[in-house]
Amino acid sequence: MQNPNCFIFFRQSRTTCLSPSNLDLSCGSSVGVSATLSETTHNNVIADKNTEICKFCEMGDLRNAMELLSWSQKSELELNTYCFVLQLCTQRKSLEDGKRVHSIITSDGMAIDEVLGAKLVFMYVNCGDLIKGRRIFDGILNDKVFLWNLLMSEYAKIGNYRETVGLFEKLQKLGVRGDSYTFTCILKCFAALAKVMECKRVHGYVLKLGFGSYNAVVNSLIAAYFKCGEAESARILFDELSDRDVVSWNSMIIFIQMLNLGVDVDSVTVVNVLVTCANVGNLTLGRILHAYGVKVGFSGDAMFNNTLLDMYSKCGKLNGANEVFVKMGETTIVSWTSIIAAHVREGLHDEALRLFDKMQSKGLSPDIYAVTSVVHACACSNSLDKGREVHNYIKKNNMGSKANLIFSQLQLKSIVSWNTMIGGYSQNSLPNETLELFLDMQKQSKPDDITMACVLPACAGLAALEKGREIHGHILRKGYFSDLHVACALVDMYVKCGFLAQQLFDMIPNKDMILWTVMIAGYGMHGFGKEAISTFDKIRIAGIEPEESSFTSILYACTHSEFLREGWKFFDSTRSECNIEPKLEHYAYMVDLLIRSGNLSRTYKFIETMPIKPDAAIWGALLSGCRIHHDVELAEKVPEHIFELEPEKTRYYVLLANVYAKAKKWEEVKKLQRRISKCGLKKDQGCSWIEVQGKFNNFVAGDTSHPQAKRIDSLLRKLRMKMNREGYSNKMRYSLISADDRQKCFYVDTGRTVRVTKNLRVCGDCHEMGKFMSKTTGREILLRDSNRFHHFKDGLCSCRGFW
């Protein structure tokens, strides 16, 4: 993979002489333009560039127009020419060309007046760059109402109603007269925000400015009043309408009255009424509408069927929803999303996940609404693998912000919506956001057992022990501990906060495979290999068949306790006893285990003969082993495999540099430093944090913003002097690592164990300092890095130098 930072792009000067010798047709120059330019050059006649460019624009030939514009001189171009080209960029939705035109205007020093500014705003907004369009708009303060409407409409489309309202208020202050579209747009926003008084204020403007006879504006007023709960005001407006079109009827949704008056009812009206039935749970009217729709021939209408399905679902009639779904001729993403949500609503989470898989097998890509339902199903059914799969899909398709926007717009948030959002944050590895949302939820709703199962992993991720204990108390008071999902999440939280929770584990009567696996992994994290193996044996004694994840955990535990023989035994038994084909992560732990045994040549052969192609992490583990065992020769063979797979990952450069540093090959270290700098690579930002009295204290290299920074520095200087007297010094062999000493020094009450969490794997210098600190201060230090726990006590570490 090539790093974009390694490329330099050159742009030919626009002042280059237009002669046949410097027009390179082989580089993709347009034949039409090149022929025209060659001809004019040959005849020694300079054509009117403005006319030529405008002709190209009239023909819709953007490429030729752009090329001629680029070659033209500032003095040759007129304002109207720029406007023509920008208009064509807008029509073609070509943001890249529009930006080029803007760049040429800027470089030519042309002033952006109201006319040119309006064209630029129109181009940027219509081509999808709303931020840039707004920036230009704010700079020109145009009084053209269509521009104000354009921006207000675009903000409304993305749900940013407050920005729309801000523009409307600014428009009024500047005395710009709005039109019917302005009021229609702002009424929709105030309705979405449930601002009834603002709707009434706009109603006054509408009457004052003479828009009271415009059906579109009045219909928007009716709909706004209705959404704000002002049914009486909406009804009065409706009754005053002399020309009641279908839109008017849809706004009020008075279906029965329309039928009585003999008004022809379209499918849009029926759909709107069905939406209301779904929201208020009116199953009787919903069934009448179903029958009516079938009678008049709406059964082939996709919108009618999808809304009907949703109505049955929200009215608690899953059978009715399934019947509609089965009878639908062509299912869409909307219908699949509705039926999945229906099963989630009824607690049929496994069936919802099956439908989700079936939808994808049909070639349909899930949208944010389908994914939101499935996240909730994963959280409730404890489907970890499916949760990871959905998590990756969300990240790949950048859906996180969309889900948050949908949630924030909900006027009434149910326990399901709260849990779905909290579960989504939790499964997307956003622990801070999870806990913040949980705090908001507690102010507005009552958490249930599913909430607890979603929040506890966030506490585990942050090692937020005090918050975890607080939630534990809530679980006991509400009696949620009997729920196996909650109990499992609670054990996992304590394990990842530095406690093995053996007593808690023993209290759970009916343990499932997930709980056993959590406990085995916990022993592994803390370096208790014997206890992990004993627990694995208990699974077999209980007659439970181990799963892939169980073998992953036991191999992880064997690795961190250097149990080579036992590790091989478990690895071999995956196939021989359990008929499980080892996956890449199983091979990765065996590689780690072989490295710890010190036999690097055997490890290298093992990797090369693996039936699965090794990833960069496996080769990286071998490179780390080369650092530990001082094998420079092998270390120089490994990078070619790593950089082919992940050339942009700085940590592998750092590892190799540390190998060279240990061997005192400083010239090789400098070469790597230059290579990192040349390719524009950046080291992963390391940070550490500690929880004190329920609050997190974060430490990042170079950051002095902590309120007790001076006190920490003073303490650190005294501590370092004491440690230096006992033989501590920075290790030069740990090259390219710049962890701030503040990350190695934390303040907690005297006598208490210091519990630190680090986002990256601990470096050698921090590890050495941790050992010296525990000895010098007489304090036990518990450090959790990205790989395992380190128990520092009396100058020793539980990892015994292998991490």
The DSSP code sequence of 30-64 is -HHHHHHHHHHHHTT----HHHHHHHHHHTT-HHH
Residue 22, pLDDT score: 36
- Mean pLDDT (whole number) for 198-206: 91
Give CA–CA dist 647/650, Å, rounded: 8
Residue 350: pLDDT above 50?
yes
> Do 1-140 and 583-683 come out as alike in CATH topology?
yes
For CA atoms 40, 42, 45, 46, the dihedral sign is positive
- For the ranges 20-34, 355-369, 417-431, the lowest mean pLDDT is seen at 20-34
Residue 183's pLDDT band (cuts 50, 70, 90):
very high
Non-local (6+) Cβ contacts of 263 within 8 A are 249
Q: Are strands 754-758 and 781-784 parallel, antiparallel or unpaired?
A: parallel
Is the pLDDT score of 226 beyond 60? yes
DSSP SS3 for 110: coil
Q: Are 161 and 189 in contact (CB under 8 A)?
A: yes
Read off the DSSP letter of residue 25.
G
Q: Are residues 13 and 104 in contact, defined by beta-carbon separation less than 8 angstroms? A: no
- Note whether 240 and 252 are within 8 A (CB): no
Rounded to a whole number of angstroms, the distance between the first and last alpha carbons of the chain is 29
Pairing, β 754-758 against β 695-700: unpaired
Give yes or no for a contact between 489 and 457, defined as CB atoms under 8 angstroms apart.
Answer: yes
Alpha-carbon distance of 34 to 37, in angstroms, equals 5
Q: Give the CATH number of domain 1-140.
A: 1.25.40
* Alpha-carbon gap, residue 86 to 79, rounded angstroms: 11
- Which class would CATH give 583-683? mainly alpha
Strand partners, 689: 698, 757
* Per-residue confidence band for 132, with pLDDT thresholds at 50, 70 and 90: very high
Helices (H), 562-708: 564-576, 584-597, 600-608, 616-628, 632-635, 639-645, 650-662, 666-678
Q: Determine contact, residues 747/715, Cβ cutoff 8 Å.
A: yes
pLDDT on residue 802: 60
H or E stretch at 73 = none
What pLDDT does residue 259 have?
A: 58
Q: What is the pLDDT of residue 27?
A: 36
Largest CA distance in the chain: 98
For the chain, percent of residues with pLDDT exceeding 90: 19
**What are the residue boundaries of the structural domains of the chain, listed by start?**
1-140, 267-330, 583-683, 690-797
Highest mean pLDDT among 111-115, 568-572, 621-625: 568-572
Q: Which of 417-421, 444-448, 752-756, 798-802 has the highest mean pLDDT?
A: 444-448
Looking at the whole model, is its pTM more than 0.75? no
| 781 membership: H or E segment, kind and range | strand 781-784
Q: Please say if the pLDDT value at position 20 is more than 60.
A: no
Q: What digits encode the pLDDT tens for the residues 264-277?
A: 667 777 887 787 67
Query: Average per-residue pLDDT in the chain?
Result: 79
Gap between the Cα atoms of 444 and 346, Å rounded: 23
**Any residues with CB less than 8 A from the CB of 759 and at least 6 apart, and which?**
686, 687, 688, 786
Of 400, 384, 401, 369, nearest in space to 454 by CA? 384
Using one digit for the tens of pLDDT, what is the confidence trace for 381-403?
666 567 667 766 766 666 655 55
Instruction: Write down the pLDDT at residue 280.
Output: 62
